[in-house]
């Protein structure tokens, strides 16, 4: 008798939890049909459990001296009446977040594409040297793009295994744009070999 009461109680509790979840989802998504609400509730429950069991990983923070060294490299190419921005960011694409160091500055009028390619090469060498000195073994690549009145150099890197999908997707995209002439990219032979081996 007690087992029947326990089972009935569990079924009622399960029914109440599902009903409450669907009511909350209906409040959040008023135009959704029942099938859509069930799908959204299921997705949210998965996210909750995934978040509960996953560890929060601290991201590496570059020291300010590194940023100052990058600014020192850029000074020769930049209009010094404006600030040279250097920082650590994430490129968000769907579920993937790919970390990168971004450098943005107003250029001197006398600079050309060869100058920006040379600067991008110097920055990626500096980045790799920094990684080596810090004992960090990360895949990375760099490229520059030109805006109306600014230059942006981005150094993407793969810090954790979960960064790989977004990192490789970004590399392939920039590689395609580089071949069209939209970006100035320092190609990485190891990454190119890795892409070819995946195919």
Task: Read off the pLDDT of residues 74-114 as tens digits, 9 standing for 90 and up.
Answer: 999 999 899 999 999 998 876 778 999 999 999 988 778 88
Query: Concatenated DSSP letters for 140-169?
Result: EEEEEEE-SS-EEEEEEEE-SGGGHHHHHH
- Own/partner pairs for 4-10, CB < 8 Å, 24+ apart? none
Q: Which residues contact 184 (CB under 8 A, 6 or more apart)?
A: 113, 116, 117, 120, 143, 144, 145, 178
CA dihedral 166, 168, 173, 178 (to 10 degrees): 140
pLDDT class of 182 with cuts at 50, 70, 90? low
In the predicted model, is pLDDT for residue 157 greater than 80? Answer: yes
Phi/psi-derived region of residue 181, left when phi > 0, alpha when psi is between -120 and 50, beta in every other case? left
Q: Residue 181's pLDDT is what?
A: 64
In whole angstroms, how large is the CA radius of gyration of the chain? 24
Secondary structure E strands in the chain? 85-93, 96-105, 139-146, 151-158, 184-186
Rounded percentage of the chain residues whose pLDDT exceeds 90: 39
How far apart are the C-alpha atoms of 24 and 13, rounded to whole Å?
Answer: 16
**Termini Cα distance of the chain:** 62
Q: Does the pTM exceed 0.85?
A: no
Closest by Cα among 139, 136, 126 to 169: 139
Place of tokens 């569990």: 10
């Amino acid at each position: 008798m007690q087992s029947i009461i326990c089972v009935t109680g569990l079924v009622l509790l399960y029914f109440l939890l599902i009903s409450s979840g669907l009511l909350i989802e209906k409040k959040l998504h008023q135009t959704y049909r029942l099938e859509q609400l069930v799908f959204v509730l299921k997705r949210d429950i998965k996210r909750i459990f995934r978040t509960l069991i996953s560890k929060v990983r601290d991201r590496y923070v570059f020291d300010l001296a590194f940023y100052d060294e990058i600014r020192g490299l850029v000074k020769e190419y930049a209009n010094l009446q404006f600030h040279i921005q250097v920082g650590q960011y994430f490129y968000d694409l769907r579920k993937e977040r790919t970390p990168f160091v971004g450098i943005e500055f107003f250029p001197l009028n006398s600079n050309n594409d060869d100058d920006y390619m040379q600067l991008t090469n110097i920055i990626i060498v500096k980045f790799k040297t920094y990684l080596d000195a810090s004992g960090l073994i990360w895949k990375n690549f760099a490229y520059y793009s030109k805006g109306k009145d600014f230059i942006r150099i981005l150094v993407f890197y793969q810090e954790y295994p979960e960064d790989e999908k977004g990192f490789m997707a970004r590399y392939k995209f920039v590689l395609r744009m580089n071949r069209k002439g939209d970006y100035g990219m320092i190609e990485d032979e190891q990454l190119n070999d890795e892409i070819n081996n995946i195919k």
